[in-house]
């Protein structure tokens, strides 16, 4: 059976949704299927708004048995006015054209034809979920819709994200099954009328082999750090709590704690000015900015950290927590996305309310000052990850669910 995986960005960029889709595509051959990933040519996500942002030049490549096809992001004249018009004139709902959903006409043309796919796995952005649904309807495919909804904490949702403003509730209610990354996201799907039996709770995983021999010495040389450090590895912006982490760190430095804050990963264009301002009164050597971290560097940087923090309200899952636990590191997360499902507060890590820099500083200080707590929390987290959260186990659960949607002896649902 041929399966089409739709995602806004893919290999070689390493990110949460990107890795999730890639691992599911790679796992399909184990179940006797053939996978194609259709994605954009974006390296930098800001390409969706800025024509000067970085692109990936290769339009097609093979990664193992998986074919990756990249379609060009275009920037029509007067894009904001065009978006406003299309939200009113074209089907698919307004969420399909809200920023940052990009314009990719070549992908739309590709999907108008029957390419022999029996199933579509549509991920992360409304325009892709709509395109996947339209292709599935036109050509008799099954559809797994995966919204990866980043909408804040359970009881403090992000009101400014109009993520489900269009057809997604209808699509999610009528697809073969909808994938939720957490119990919180499951609750959102239930609220919009998706039947419980149509929901598959998934989440992300890790490849244990990537963390078997982390090169901590190389990582410390790369960072220029000799002593303890707190790591935040994400795409930094206000909604991922980077500013709150800096505020918490300042209070601990004033109290005499000696550590470095490592902000690993790209900085969102709209946050750069705020970050530069926040760093003006920070002493030299106290904050390290790495930019994008290649996949082969991640394990060493994570394993060398004393604490890994993700005080974010914009992560539907938080794969960095799994990676930290795989390295035996303790974590600090927030009460958002899947983090409350994974973090047993006080046992394998801590959870803090988004924006509460005082509580965040307290939890950082507890871990930095207590090696035994760091070790025990990291060990508990690692045991859970190895038991429940390897990619093989996550993808097998997905393909087990997908196989229930296929008639015996047939490729179509």
Measured distance CA(128)–CA(369) in Å, rounded: 46
- Contact (Cβ atoms closer than 8 angstroms) between residue 320 and residue 233: yes
Determine the longest span between alpha carbons in the chain, in angstroms: 68
**Is the model's pLDDT at 96 over the cut of 80?**
no
Instruction: With CA atoms as reference, report the closest residue to 129 among 143, 119, 140.
Output: 143
Backbone angles phi, psi at 219, to 5 degrees: -60, -45
Contacts of 238 (CB under 8 A, 6+ apart): 271, 274
DSSP 188-205: HHHHTT--GGGEEE----
**Is the model's pLDDT at 141 over the cut of 90?**
yes
- Residue 341 has, within 13 A of its CA and on its CB side, a CA count of 26
Measured distance CA(342)–CA(322) in Å, rounded: 9
Measured distance CA(327)–CA(331) in Å, rounded: 11
DSSP 230-297: EEEES-B-GGGTHHHHHHHHHHHHHTT---EEEEEB-B-GGGHHHHHHHTTTSPTTSEEEEES--HHH
Beta strands in 155-223 (DSSP E): 156-157, 177-180, 199-201
For residue 23, give the DSSP letter.
Answer: H
Measured distance CA(68)–CA(155) in Å, rounded: 39
Q: 7-16, pLDDT tens digit by residue?
A: 999 999 988 8
How would you label 211-238 residue by residue, b for 16+ Cβ within 10 Å and e otherwise? beebbbeebbebbebeebbbbbbbbbbb
Q: 281-327, pLDDT tens digit by residue?
A: 898 899 999 999 998 899 999 999 999 999 999 898 999 999 999 99
Measured distance CA(249)–CA(256) in Å, rounded: 11
Mean pLDDT across the chain: 93
What is the set of domains in the chain, with CATH numbers? 2-205+390-403 (3.40.50.2000), 208-388 (3.40.50.2000)
Q: 192-239, pLDDT tens digit by residue?
A: 999 999 999 999 999 999 999 999 999 999 999 999 999 999 999 999
How would you label 312-343 residue by residue, b for 16+ Cβ within 10 Å and e otherwise? bbbbbbbbbbbbbbbbbbbbbbbbbbbbbbbb
Contacts of 384 (CB under 8 A, 6+ apart): 325, 342, 348
**Is the model's pLDDT at 81 over the cut of 90?**
no
Query: Is 145 strand, coil or helix?
Result: strand
Beta pairing class for 66-71 and 60-63 = antiparallel
Percent of the chain with pLDDT over 90: 79
**Is the model's pLDDT at 88 over the cut of 60?**
yes
- Give the pLDDT of residue 150: 77
Measured distance CA(327)–CA(308) in Å, rounded: 11
Percent of the chain with pLDDT over 70: 97
Report the run of H or E that residue 309 belongs to, with start and end: strand 307-309
How would you label 88-119 residue by residue, b for 16+ Cβ within 10 Å and e otherwise? eeeebbbbbbbeebbbbebbeebbeeeeebbb
Q: 120-136, pLDDT tens digit by residue?
A: 999 989 999 999 999 99
- Give the pLDDT of residue 161: 57
- Give the pLDDT of residue 340: 95
- Contact (Cβ atoms closer than 8 angstroms) between residue 358 and residue 245: no
- Give the pLDDT of residue 375: 98
Beta pairing class for 177-180 and 142-146 = parallel
**Is the model's pLDDT at 407 over the cut of 70?**
no
Contacts of 65 (CB under 8 A, 6+ apart): 26, 28, 29, 34, 35
């Amino acid at each position: 059976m041929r399966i089409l995986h739709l995602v806004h960005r893919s290999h070689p960029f390493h990110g949460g949704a990107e890795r999730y889709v890639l691992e599911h595509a790679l796992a399909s051959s184990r179940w006797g299927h053939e996978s194609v990933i259709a994605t954009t040519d974006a390296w930098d996500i800001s390409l969706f708004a800025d024509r000067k942002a970085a692109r990936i030049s290769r339009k097609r490549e093979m990664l193992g048995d998986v074919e990756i096809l990249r379609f060009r992001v275009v920037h029509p004249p007067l894009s904001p006015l065009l978006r406003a018009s299309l939200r009113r004139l074209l089907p698919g709902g307004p969420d399909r054209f809200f920023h940052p959903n990009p314009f990719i006409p070549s992908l739309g043309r590709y999907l108008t034809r029957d390419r022999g796919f029996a199933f579509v796995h549509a991920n992360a952005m409304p325009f892709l979920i709509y395109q996947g649904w339209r292709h599935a309807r036109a050509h008799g495919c099954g559809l797994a819709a995966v919204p990866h909804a980043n909408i804040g904490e359970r009881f403090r949702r992000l009101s400014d994200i109009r993520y489900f403003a269009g057809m997604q509730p209808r699509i999610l209610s009528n697809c073969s099954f909808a994938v939720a990354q957490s119990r919180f996201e499951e609750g959102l799907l239930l609220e919009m009328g998706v039947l419980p039996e149509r929901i598959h709770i998934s989440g992300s995983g890790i490849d244990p082999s990537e963390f078997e021999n982390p090169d901590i010495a190389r990582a410390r040389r790369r960072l220029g750090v000799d002593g303890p450090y707190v790591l935040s590895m994400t795409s930094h912006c206000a909604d991922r709590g980077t500013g709150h982490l800096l505020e918490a760190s300042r209070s601990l430095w004033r109290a005499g704690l000696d550590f470095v804050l490592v902000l690993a990963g790209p900085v969102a264009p709209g946050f750069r000015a705020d970050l530069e301002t926040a760093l003006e009164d920070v002493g030299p050597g106290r904050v390290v900015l790495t930019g994008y971290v290649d996949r082969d560097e991640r394990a060493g940087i994570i394993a060398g950290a004393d604490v890994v923090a993700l005080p974010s309200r914009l992560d539907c899952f938080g794969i960095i927590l799994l990676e930290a636990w795989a390295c035996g590191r303790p974590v600090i997360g927030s009460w958002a996305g899947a983090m409350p499902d994974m973090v047993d507060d006080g046992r394998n890590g801590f959870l803090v309310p988004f924006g509460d820099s005082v509580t965040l500083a307290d939890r950082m200080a507890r871990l930095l000052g207590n090696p035994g707590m760091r070790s025990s929390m990291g060990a508990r987290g690692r045991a859970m990850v190895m038991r429940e959260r390897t990619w093989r186990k996550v993808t097998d659960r997905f393909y087990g669910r997908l196989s229930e949607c296929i008639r015996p002896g047939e490729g179509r649902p």
